Chains A and B, each alone.
Chain A
Amino acid sequence: MENLANLLLLLVILLNFFILGSSRLGACIQTAALQGAMLACVPLLMHPISGHTLFLAGSALALKGVVMPWLLFRAIRQVRIRREIDPMIGYVPTLILGTVATAGAFIFSDHLPLVAAHRGSLVIPCGLATLGAGFLMMITRRKALTQALGYLIFENGIFIFGLLLTEAMPLMVEAGVLLDLLVAVFVMGIVVNQINREFSSLNVENLSLLRE
């Protein structure tokens, strides 16, 4: 079981690379959804199955695997864009930065003063690497939609950290986090639509030009 969980975490890191290197919005959304769905299964593999873990996995699977991708797909259908054209930093440099961040995460987590049970586990480096990938995505992309995707990946990173605390964290906190995320993506979908209607483009730097 532990091995399967580690395999899923490694796949999550590989999906990070894919998202950082891909320019197609549809593929990025699908990959983020797959990442979320895989992460939703991890608590079931790492902890004994109880009502708590079942609820956590089920709600994460439904929200991250189904509802949010659906919202984002609806948003790109409405504004009719398929690709991120020119990111602030190109795809190859972003990929290299992402790999450096991942290497840094692995080295850094070796030096953290962790509880003995967590030492050597993949959870912490994987969480840090996913946080880094989400950050990079939010910093380097111009479109509001890809930035929202970056936020989703960032949250996936936090979710990975949360895996260590599943037994200690109350249910309400997790439900609240997931609900916040849903609202954020929902609002982002509306914002995307509004930006598009106002400027007939989705680039966020248009927002900083509003000086009247």
Chain B
Amino acid sequence: MTMLIRLFWHLALLLGLSPLLLGVIAKTKAGFAGRKGPPLVQPYYDLARLFRKDMVISRTTTWLFRAGPVAGLTAPLVASLFVPFGAIGAPLGFDGDLIFVIYLLGLSRFCTAVAALDTGSAFEGMGAAREVTFACLVEPTVFFVLIVLVRLTGSFSLGGLFGPALAAGWHTAAPSLMLAIFCMLVVTLVENCRIPFDDPTTHLELTMIHEVMVLDHSGPDFGMILYGAAMKLLLLGAMTVGLALPVSLGSAPLDAAVFALAMLLLAVLIGVVESVIARLPLLKVPQLLIGTSLLSFFALILLLR
């Protein structure tokens, strides 16, 4: 029974909250620019509209092109069942699921990249190459952060790494955890193609990375990609929030409310970052990502001392 309640809260938060985050980010950016901006629920309208539309599929593509969006939607959905949302524990979990979750996200990225290559467009191939390069550079940071958490809590399952399990860690290793939060925030920005690493609103520009890969998708396929991206934002955001907020209030609705509030604050923070920081030159990004990896490595050294 508790298992079912947990699953319900988890899916409700995941499916209901994730598009709202995109709306909050857009609203924050509009506020900074002095515009009124689209309504907060605009992403829901966009998704509903996309799912009603027809699709145009290029004749040169194969089934790989159709498989990309499906993996892009299902992989984050399955992965987020292993991640605790604030104090609401993860419905599923086993020892070592942290590696499983990270590589599920890797699988969705692989499928998106393969679908982009399948169109045979040189432009999309370039975007795929960039996306995969940055993903390689982010991976060490994620794993160093997770190693720090494993070392602190002694658990090998994501369910035991975040949230209330960390409360004791904040007393003994606060500096390491602060570095870990910063690194996780950078990972969230990179993995979700946010400024300063990639601009999600550019279209048809030589510098864009993620958007270029999905240029040929339309209709329901594009809707699946958008929804999957929103879930991925929620998933990685949940890891960041889980690091920063090691409290539990006891009752599920209250915990869900606290988590939703924290996620919205994170979305506002992302909006502020996008408004005040200029996009980095493409060649500077690897330098910054390696720097972040080294920072997370330093967090591990501090902890091991």
Q: Give residues in A with beta carbon < 8 Å to B.
A: 6-7, 10, 13-14, 17, 21, 91-92, 95-96, 98-99, 102-103, 106, 110, 125
Contact = CB atoms under 8 A, between A and B. Distances in A.
A94 B290 CA distance: 11
B175 A10 contact: yes
A13 B298 contact: yes
Say what secondary structure dominates the interface of chain A.
helix
A23 to B, nearest CB: 10
Contacts, number: 35
Contact of A92 (B175, B287, B298, B302): B287
A96 B175 contact: no
B75 to A, nearest CB: 31
A103 B290 CA distance: 16
A6 B305 CA distance: 14
Contact of B301 (A6, A14, A21, A103): A103
A13 B179 CA distance: 12
Contacts of A17: 291, 294-295, 298
Contacts of A103: 297-298, 301
B121 to A, nearest CB: 31
Interface in B265-305: 286-287, 290-291, 294-295, 297-298, 301-302, 305
Interface in B119-170: none
A21 B291 contact: yes
B241 to A, nearest CB: 23
B305 A95 contact: no
Nearest to A120: B305
A17 B179 CA distance: 13
Contacts of B294: 17, 95-96, 98-99
Contact of B305 (A21, A91, A106): A106
B249 to A, nearest CB: 28
Contact of A21 (B287, B297, B298, B302): B287
A106 B287 contact: no
**Residue of A6, A99, A106 most packed against chain B (CB within 10 A):** A99
Nearest to B175: A10
Nearest to A9: B175
Given A7-B175, A13-B298, A99-B298, A92 B305 contact: no
19 contacts: A6-B175, A13-B298, A14-B295, A17-B291, A17-B294, A17-B298, A21-B291, A91-B287, A92-B290, A95-B290, A95-B291, A95-B294, A96-B294, A98-B294, A99-B298, A102-B301, A103-B298, A103-B301, A125-B305
